Structure 1
Amino acid sequence: MTADAVGGVWSYAMALCRGLLAGGTRVTLAVLGPSPGAAQRLEAAALPGLRLLDTRLPLDWMSPSAAAVRDSGRQLAALVRESGAELLHLNSPALAAGNRFPVPVLAFCHSCLASWWDAVKAGPLPPEFAWHRELLAEGYGGADLLAAPSRAFADATRTLYALPERPRTVHNGIPPLALPPARAEGPFAFTAGRLWDEGKNLATLDAAAAGLPIPFLAAGPLEGPGGAHAGLRHLLAQGSLDRPAMQAILARRPIFASAARYEPFGLAVLEAAQAGCPLVLSDIPTFREIWGGAADYVPSGDAAGFAEALRRLAASPRLRAARGQAARLRAARYTAEAMAAETLGLYRALVPAPHALEAPA
């Protein structure tokens, strides 16, 4: 399985590996891009039987050219042969372009530049980025099976890349949060994620925070690759938080908000919902699919609408408790166990003999 240590794919891979290993599947996790940090290495080391491989190969979306991605694919194919793996789970599907892999390939469509651009920017994808789209289209064609974390994103992917069929849907899932005891305090709002990413639309939440009678905290990096930067005027930046610090905030049951224009799933929302936080989310197809009636929705660019929804929840402890409970109940659908079981089902469709993936008893 491939992964990276930059964003949400790491959290996804850790949760999935935990479930697969518990069921007896042997996993080598090949990390592309920047090396895992010390905390990430400790997290991986805590999974008995997981082999962590720091490839130092460039990520497709950080690569300078299609040739560099193809070269990474060739080197990855050699690593697959050396590992003795029976299947390759690609979390960077562009690596399947010109598929040279000696085993079946499941490619998971977590996100892509073309769909991000379609949701966030005006106009067509610029010519200088066209190679990313073309290479990913080739990668999708080179995979034996495609999957995505939501039906909404699977539909968008099929449309953008003219795929013959929609990728399979395997919703993301996470293990239960180990929350510290909550302390009684006044309400506050919270958001978390890659704050520098225009797709997260932090500017709308920053504007919404200006007139709120409650604090509005934002956790995550403000600086991103290629000089991307988010400037805050009203949100209270918390920096990048480790897991205990994040869980300490969620244990206080803040009102969690996301104004994202682009979100194939939204792990930060799931963590907040699992903690029992009421949700105020942008009205995009992914969030409607995942959260149904368990969240309050506002058009993604409507700062005044977000401010009003947050004020309404802040003014009523009873309403916050009810909406937090609705979010918690909905979050119970999205477990790491369910994700691992559904993913293993796709593996077995590609490698019919179960023993080929499982360690001997």
Structure 2
Amino acid sequence: MEENSYLKYPRRILMTADTVGGVWTYSLNLAKALAKFNVQVYLATMGSLPNEKQKKQAAQIPNLTLHSSDYALEWMENPWEGVDKAGPWLMDLQKLINPDLIHLNNYCHGHLDWKAPVMMVCHSCVFSWWENVIGSTPPEHYQEYFTRVQRGLQAADLVVAPSRDMLQSISRIYGELANKIVIPNGGEPVTIERDEKQDVIFSMGRLWDSAKNIESLNRVAGDLSWPVVIAGDDAVPGSSENSTFTNVTYTGKLDQDEVNGWLAKASIYALPARYEPFGLSILEAAHAGCTLVLGDIPSLRENWIGAAFFVEPGNLEALKYTLETLIQRPELRKKYAERAAIRAKAFTTKRMANLYLEKYEELLNAPRLTAPKSAAKSVTLPNT
């Protein structure tokens, strides 16, 4: 880009992502929505190599080019060798692509020698996860994670989060940020036959992640009048450990078409989460006409108040009572399914893309800071 030129939208974006969780879906949704603006997205993935279904998903998006690696993600156990090796790989991609803008969906590479403006999106973090799920600050050996995340955040030109609650948590934990904004995630309804709703409660997510609290559903399922079906990955990344579910029907990890099929069938979608900065699966369920039963946490109330039922994450009796009440009261289910579907219309990929494009434009046409990124102010590790 010439020094005095005006570039309304980036033509080439280098975006990072992982293949493990919701960031993959978010990245593909955003890339697809950017296609009509002639924005090319070069997606650099880490964590694990994409599987065949994921490769097929990516190949169906004409403006998306996939660059894959299996470098460790910063939240994994002992990741730093892989995180450090990913740095030169990303720099090589920058040289190859010559992007107009860098869109990072991780933290620890924010300080690299980027030649274009850097937007960093906070989808979750270990410290806010630990606070909400464990109820304390992480142990001392997470100091390295804290230091690297803080350095990456303070090096970014703009920090984005999908909810106010998440953005406030990031600012409180890692230090105040000069340039930050909330941009909610987006999704699109799929073509389904809502008249075919069945007597089924459905849930999905990373089953090994205590933040999702899907184990609570397993514990109450045997006392409910309807069957409970759960989907997702039960294997902890980098470990042979698996989650065990005995009172529910477990489908395993599903592709998007299979997920859509279950959402079309399910009358109730339950995710009594302890920690969920946005919740793309909740949005998908709302679009599909499901009644929502969610964990009573600030981020979910922020988006779904008045359109969902909220249950304290650790209260099994309340979860059981709420689900059984909805089972017995079809008119109440219908009322709240309609409310959820209406609320979901506020979270579309079109709106998400437009908000990102607005911020891309601001970043591209604002003067870059000349101070070295390593000069970012330090903030000490929070006390337990």
- Deviations for 1:250-301, whole angstroms, at most 9, x for unmatched residues? 1124211111111010011110001110011111001100111100111011
Question: How has the CA–CA distance of structure 1 residues 262 and 166 changed in structure 2, closer, same or farther, with 3 Å as cutoff?
Answer: farther
Q: Distance in 2 between matches of 1:315 and 1:211?
A: 14
**Which letter does structure 2 place at the counterpart of 1:193?**
G
Q: Which moved more, 1:128-137 or 1:57-66?
A: 57-66
Q: 1:220 and 2:243 equivalent? A: no
Task: Give structure 1 regions of 4+ aligned residues with deviation exceeding 6 angstroms.
Answer: none
* Helix, strand or coil at the partner of 1:257: strand
Structure 1: gaps spanning 5 or more residues: 354-361
* Helix, strand or coil at the partner of 2:123: coil
1:95 Cα deviation from its structure 2 partner:
1.2
* Helix, strand or coil at the partner of 1:61: coil
- Deviations for 1:161-181, whole angstroms, at most 9, x for unmatched residues? 122357310100012213256
State whether residues 158 and 179 of structure 2, in contact with CA within 8 Å, keep that contact through their aligned partners in structure 1. no
Q: 1:141 and 2:154 equivalent? A: yes
**Which letter does structure 2 place at the counterpart of 1:21?**
A
1:15 is aligned to: 29
Q: 1:52 and 2:46 equivalent? A: no
Aligned with 1:152 (options 165, 168, 180): 165
**Which letter does structure 1 place at the counterpart of 2:134?**
K
1:285 is aligned to: 298
1:257 is aligned to: 270
1:33 is aligned to: 47
1:115 is aligned to: 128
**How is 1:183-194 mapped onto 2 (pairs within 5 angstroms)?**
183=196, 185=198, 187-194=199-206
Could you tell me the TM-score, scaled by structure 1's length? 0.92
Q: Distance in 1 between matches of 2:63 and 2:31?
A: 10
Question: How has the CA–CA distance of structure 1 residues 166 and 285 changed in structure 2, closer, same or farther, with 3 Å as cutoff?
Answer: farther
Q: Distance in 1 between matches of 2:84 and 2:183?
A: 27
1:323 Cα deviation from its structure 2 partner:
0.9
Q: 1:195 and 2:198 equivalent? A: no
Q: Distance in 1 between matches of 2:313 and 2:107?
A: 29
Question: How has the CA–CA distance of structure 1 residues 94 and 257 changed in structure 2, closer, same or farther, with 3 Å as cutoff?
Answer: same
State whether residues 150 and 265 of structure 1, in contact with CA within 8 Å, keep that contact through their aligned partners in structure 2. yes
1:298 is aligned to: 311
Q: Distance in 2 between matches of 1:58 and 1:86?
A: 26
Question: How has the CA–CA distance of structure 1 residues 36 and 184 changed in structure 2, closer, same or farther, with 3 Å as cutoff?
Answer: closer
1:123 Cα deviation from its structure 2 partner:
3.0
Q: Distance in 2 between matches of 1:307 and 1:337?
A: 37
State whether residues 180 and 247 of structure 1, in contact with CA within 8 Å, keep that contact through their aligned partners in structure 2. no
Q: 1:209 and 2:231 equivalent? A: no
Higher helix share: 1
2:76 is aligned to: 62
Paired residues, number: 351
Q: Which moved more, 1:255-264 or 1:126-135?
A: 126-135
Question: How has the CA–CA distance of structure 1 residues 196 and 166 changed in structure 2, closer, same or farther, with 3 Å as cutoff?
Answer: farther
State whether residues 155 and 166 of structure 1, in contact with CA within 8 Å, keep that contact through their aligned partners in structure 2. no
1:91 Cα deviation from its structure 2 partner:
0.5
Q: 1:78 and 2:92 equivalent? A: yes
2:320 is aligned to: 307
- Identity percentage over the alignment? 35
